[in-house]
Structure 1
Amino acid sequence: MPLLDRALARMEALGLPVAVNACYLGHMVAEHVGDRAHLSVEPGDPLGTAGGIGLLRDWIGGRGVLVGNADAYLASDALPPGADIAALLEDWDGREARILGVPGPPNEFGGHRFAGFSLLPWDLVATLEPEPSDLVRLAWRPAERQGRLRVVEYPGTYLDTGTPADYLAANLHAVHPGNLIGEDALVTGALDRAVIGARAVVAGDVTRGVVWPGGEVAADEKLTDAIRVGRGLTVLAH
């Protein structure tokens, strides 16, 4: 879960108390996070971006909240590591709602689209309930109508890695133009822009691909534009 680890690192770099909301495969998320953050595991169906915050409302206890999507990939040559979301907090008055944005379609907020992180004052958080709902309708748009929503432009690349194609694109962007090989991986095949997870065994060729930790690519295989999980699960990224 490298993107989750990146999100945790961003929060930790800012010196903030960190909570992780987990739903789908929540037990795996909880096991991975361990004691690095306060854990909130949703009990049933997904609560959405607002409902998950509502479930954490007592833990938040009157504070403002910096909310990050763990599947948001951010990369910028203009900012040092750990500083890419710090602009959201600069000179914050505790009342303004802020979202990180990048220019371009679908132009959700003026000429920007949402880039994975937002900052919410407590009075907006206090209205959120632990029920299926989203921050767009219950927090950002209301703040926008009140004239207290600000878009903080992100000077870099943002990808929402919710699809196989975007997940692969984020991995390839991170290693361009080379390869990344995890600890204890055994690679005897040819690699071209590949991300190989820890303990993976790669005897075949991988071109523009990702092999998850512990995954395998047999000697007679050529994995291209795809993600390999375990020994036989291949997710095509196009």
Structure 2
Amino acid sequence: MDEPTSAMVFAAGFGTRMGALTKDRPKPLIEVAGRALLDHALEQTHAAGLRAVVNAHYKAEMVADHVGDRAEVVVEQPDILDTGGGLKAALPRLGQGPVFTLNSDAVWAGPNPLECLRAVWRPERMGALLLLVPLERTVGYTRAGNFAAGAGGRLTRDAGGMVYTGAQVLHTDGLARVDSESFSLNILWDQMLAEGVLFGVEYPGYWADVGTPEGIGLAENMLERHTNV
């Protein structure tokens, strides 16, 4: 099956940059514009008609209680597994074939990011399709870019390029070739870069990285200025 029907929502991080805000709650339950970050992400997955799987580690019981029956929660214990390991561990719940992934610490102003990916995804020639945004349309993001897109959207690493938003669609079979239990998806991307099958597409709206307490207000201001779909 080459048409993805499920999405992995990453929600297992510690949120250490949030300081005291994550003392009594996990980062995905911090509110932006009156809704938990995790709810912003689940809204995108459900609007795209996808079945969601959420991973959790820090205060996992709070995440599970909050999600209820809206998604299946995979608890990573005793150790956190990072993005690659977390996705690999959740594969039995996600099903066969390619899947979407979405970070829970971002807020979007514009079209559904998963639908943007779906419109461009070509499973016969892409190993992964990453959703990117230019630096000038990021909010609360203070680091360098990640990738540059060449002809046809094929990606190369570029610290001055566009920013990876935490949304992608990818084939997951390469995860089985990684022996580590905990690892980053960068390992899989590097393999795809070498094979020329890592692609990207530009998001047409605005994207907020809610990684710090200051990022909450910045994201809320973004939502006030731009239509959030």
Using structure 1 for the length normalisation, give the TM-score: 0.65
| Structure 1 unpaired stretches of 5+ | 178-238
The answer on whether the counterparts of 2:38 and 2:104 sit within 8 Å (CA) in structure 1 is yes
Pair 1:88 & 2:117 matched: yes
Q: Which residue of 2 aligns with 1:144?
A: 193
- Write out per-residue CA displacement over residues 47-78 of structure 1, whole angstroms, 9 at most, x where no aligned residue: 111111111122233221100000011112xx
The answer on whether the counterparts of 2:174 and 2:188 sit within 8 Å (CA) in structure 1 is yes
Instruction: Give the secondary-structure state (helix, strand or coil) at the position aligned to 2:113.
Output: coil
The amino acid that maps onto 1:50 is G
Higher relative CO (Cα under 8 Å, sequence separation at least 6) belongs to 2
- Write out per-residue CA displacement over residues 165-194 of structure 1, whole angstroms, 9 at most, x where no aligned residue: 2222112322359xxxxxxxxxxxxxxxxx
How far the C-alpha of 1:125 sits from its partner, in A, is 4.0
With over 3 angstroms needed to count, the CA separation of the structure-2 counterparts of 1:130 and 1:36, relative to structure 1, is farther
How far the C-alpha of 1:131 sits from its partner, in A, is 2.2
Report the structure, 1 or 2, having the larger strand content.
Answer: 1
2: CA distance, partners of 1:127 / 1:103:
32
Q: Which residue of 2 aligns with 1:61?
A: 95
Q: Which moved more, 1:53-62 or 1:2-11?
A: 53-62
How far the C-alpha of 1:129 sits from its partner, in A, is 6.2
- Write out per-residue CA displacement over residues 115-156 of structure 1, whole angstroms, 9 at most, x where no aligned residue: 1211111323444567221112x2222212211111110112
Q: Which residue of 2 aligns with 1:215?
A: none
2: CA distance, partners of 1:139 / 1:170:
30
- Backbone CA RMSD of aligned residues: 2.1
Asked which structure has the greater CA Rg, the reply is 1
Identity of aligned residues (%): 36
Q: Which residue of 1 aligns with 2:46?
A: 12
| Structure 2 unpaired stretches of 5+ | 1-28, 30-35, 136-142, 149-160
Instruction: Give the secondary-structure state (helix, strand or coil) at the position aligned to 1:90.
Output: helix
The amino acid that maps onto 1:70 is S
Using structure 2 for the length normalisation, give the TM-score: 0.68
Q: Which residue of 1 aligns with 2:170?
A: 120
Aligned length: 171
Instruction: Give the secondary-structure state (helix, strand or coil) at the position aligned to 2:181.
Output: coil
